Amino acid sequence: MNNEAIEEDETRVSDCAGRVVLIQDCVETSGAFLLHHLMKRKLSRESSEIVVFVAFAHPFYHYDRILKKLGCNLVTLSQKGRFIFFDMRKLDCLDEVGGGRTKSGLVELFHKIHKAAEVIASPETKICITIMIDDLSLVEVAAQGSSSYVIDFLRYCRTLTTEVGCTLILLNHEDIYSNSEESTLNLELEYLADIVMKAKPLATGLAADVHGQLTVLNKRSINEHGKIKKRIQNFQFKVKENSVEYFYSGSRT
Amino acid sequence: MAETMCRALRDGSLEGEHAPALTIKDTIRTAFGVEVFDHVLCYMASTILAQKSQSSGLVLVALDRSPSLYLNLLKSRGIDASDSYKWIRVLDCYTDPLGWKEGANVLSRRESLETLFKDVSDLDKLFDAVIQLGRGMVGQGKVRFCVAIDSASLMLRHASLSSVGSLINNLRSHDQVSSIFWLIHSDLHEIRATSVLEYMSSMVGSLEPIFQSSNEQRRNSENLLSIENDTREGKFIVRLKRRNGRVKVMCEEFHVEETGIKFLAVPSESEMVNQQILPKLQFNLQLSEKERNEKENVVLPFEHQGNGQTIQIYDGRRSLPLNKNDSTTSVSVLEKLQAESAQGKGEIHYLRDSDDELPDSDEDPDDDLDI
């Protein structure tokens, strides 16, 4: 079945430790469902992975409610230490001190993440850690528009992917950068990411059964035989109350 | 051509000249610069090991990827890394480029050939660190080493263009540096920055998509996921600057495979036109070699003129024959021409009947019309 093929592909996406996954969405189609989907996979009973969630957009209870419908209880998981939540909605990073800027907020945040990752990742236990950031544009807002500061932060987060084998999952909005020639944040992110997922509205217009389309670019996709696979794959999706359906375009009317 | 480029790096610099430098540049549409960088790195490593290269060591400034990844890469490409301490040093600007991990416990399981560098914005210090690492490896004196910088883009993020320029210039003019190469993502910077680095290098290898799209399309934000990006191929254009100022441009195609990047010679321009741009036609627009030779051998009507013979064109007014011989008539000319045609030459002759008849200029051509 189509869904199985896609699920298998997704598993491979979510299994790849040490990668950077970038989710890009737009106003018409939110990519948050991908974040929830990946979170659910990481926190499912079969896996023993740990999720470090850095929230800039929504509070804990927002995610708790959504994940409950998907079959995960974030409260119990965080008590067990499998879900670590950093509420960063009130972070303000730059303080003007005597003309010179002292950057503190994101450095501290990185220290927090780094410490958490180090505590979890000991050489004996091979636990995978996933770091999720729910809205990069709000990180930029917190950094008062300094995109280079945000990129420094992300590059530091990326060092954890090689040091302790973390996976880094980032959500960003694509359309807010479409006009500004100056901002290279999006481009830098695309260079940084190993996997880029783009959620867009259906190109052919509205449809009752299809909520949008998903394009996945896997820069280093190598299949089980060590051969290079196709880089780009297209799916369509339908977001349901407690699950998401993925299918190849044309397989639904 | 990638071969030529690599060989130039391998051969190193002449006494009193700047070291050859290579800029590898790519854009997000063909983001395979990393693969080219790896290719050059592995080539240099293998020639250093085989002692075919002028340099006897390699200093890698790792900004974009972790040092352990590079060491694994060399191993996976079959380069013997058992005594790598003798010929490679990695300056680790990846793990903690800005000193944010100060106070935090940086994992200390690093190998002796990696050196942590914590202040990328200070390029003078970086220069000293590179030279120190190189000297620590090959010793003082005349022995040279090669320098690789895996992302000039990241350097430009942390330091000004002039300081990056001066770093590269200092490295190139140092007596112990045999060659230097770096990678830059050109769309992250102003054109100015890329051109400055291109000026400072003796070779530029740029990766471009096989099919160029218009500016408008290129600016389209959908670029990364556009269909033409679903390929692992592209054009590799090498620009070599000779010492005398001559610039040579060469073009190749590349394919990225699981074992690395492969370069293929591009078919000649006319063949490319034939293969790629023109649709399949039922008739032939191109000439074969035989056809071209035959075409060149055809004598065109005007071509025999002045070909050792006197020019003879009968203009119908006896002007030419009159100059030579008064008694020559149109009939004799005709005979002469007939004799010539008997020799097998096909020619077209026109003889006007008579000079006496004047055109009826005073007649109204519409006289017979019944209006």
Q: Per the domain annotation, does B371 fall within a domain?
A: no
Q: Give residue B221's pLDDT.
A: 43
Based on the fold, state whether residues B212 and B320 are members of the same structural domain: no
Q: Give residue B313's pLDDT.
A: 60
Based on the fold, state whether residues B190 and B144 are members of the same structural domain: yes
Q: Give residue B141's pLDDT.
A: 83
Q: Per the domain annotation, does B303 fall within a domain?
A: yes
Q: What is the 3-state secondary structure (H, E, C) of B227-285?
A: HHHCCCEEEEEEEEECCCCCEEEEEEEEEEECCEEEEEECCCHHHHHHHHHCCCCCCCC
Biggest CA-to-CA distance, chain B = 118
Based on the fold, state whether residues B14 and B123 are members of the same structural domain: yes
Q: Per the domain annotation, does B225 fall within a domain?
A: yes
Q: Per the domain annotation, does B285 fall within a domain?
A: no
Q: Which residues of B touch A186 (CB under 8 A)?
A: 221
Based on the fold, state whether residues B310 and B256 are members of the same structural domain: no
Q: Give residue A99's pLDDT.
A: 43
Tell me whether A27 touches chain B (CB under 8 Å).
no
Q: How many domains does chain A have?
A: 1
Based on the fold, state whether residues B248 and B310 are members of the same structural domain: no
Q: Give residue B38's pLDDT.
A: 93
Based on the fold, state whether residues B130 and B160 are members of the same structural domain: yes
Structural domain boundaries enclosing B311: 299-342
Nearest by CB: A230 against B94, B100, B230:
B230
Based on the fold, state whether residues B333 and B260 are members of the same structural domain: no
Q: How many domains does chain B have?
A: 2
At A187, which helix (H) or strand (E)?
helix A185-192
Q: Which residues of B touch A175 (CB under 8 A)?
A: 221
Based on the fold, state whether residues B260 and B173 are members of the same structural domain: yes
Nearest by CB: A114 against B98, B104, B225:
B104
Q: Per the domain annotation, does A253 fall within a domain?
A: no
Give the whole-angstrom CA distance, residue B316 versus residue B19. Answer: 76
Residues 191-210 on A with a CB inside 8 Å of B are: 191, 196, 198
Q: How far is A186 from chain B (nearest CA, A)?
A: 10
Based on the fold, state whether residues B214 and B335 are members of the same structural domain: no
Torsion angle, CA of A199/A201/A202/A208, rounded to 10 degrees? 110
pLDDT tens track of chain A, all 253 residues? 455 555 555 555 545 578 899 999 999 899 999 999 999 988 988 888 899 999 999 999 999 999 999 989 999 999 998 999 999 888 776 555 444 445 578 888 999 999 888 888 766 667 888 999 999 999 988 888 888 889 999 999 999 988 888 899 999 998 887 666 556 788 889 899 999 999 988 888 877 888 888 988 888 766 555 556 667 888 889 988 888 888 888 777 5
Q: Per the domain annotation, does B87 fall within a domain?
A: yes
CA angle A134, A20, B231 (to 5 degrees): 120
Q: How far is B78 from chain A (nearest CA, A)?
A: 17
Under an 8 A CB cutoff, do B188 and A187 touch?
Answer: yes
Based on the fold, state whether residues B241 and B309 are members of the same structural domain: no
Q: ipTM of the predicted structure?
A: 0.86
Supply the CATH number for residue A83's domain: 3.40.50.300
Tell me whether A115 touches chain B (CB under 8 Å).
yes
Structural domain boundaries enclosing A194: 2-247
The ranges of chain B with pLDDT < 50 are 108-109, 216-222, 320-324, 326-328
Tell me whether A113 touches chain B (CB under 8 Å).
no
Based on the fold, state whether residues B197 and B316 are members of the same structural domain: no
Report residue A234 as tokens.
């297209």
Q: Give residue B279's pLDDT.
A: 60
Under an 8 A CB cutoff, do A111 and B100 touch?
Answer: yes
Q: Per the domain annotation, does B347 fall within a domain?
A: no
Under an 8 A CB cutoff, do B229 and A156 touch?
Answer: no
Most B CBs within 10 Å, among A146, A155, A191, A231, to test the B interface? A191
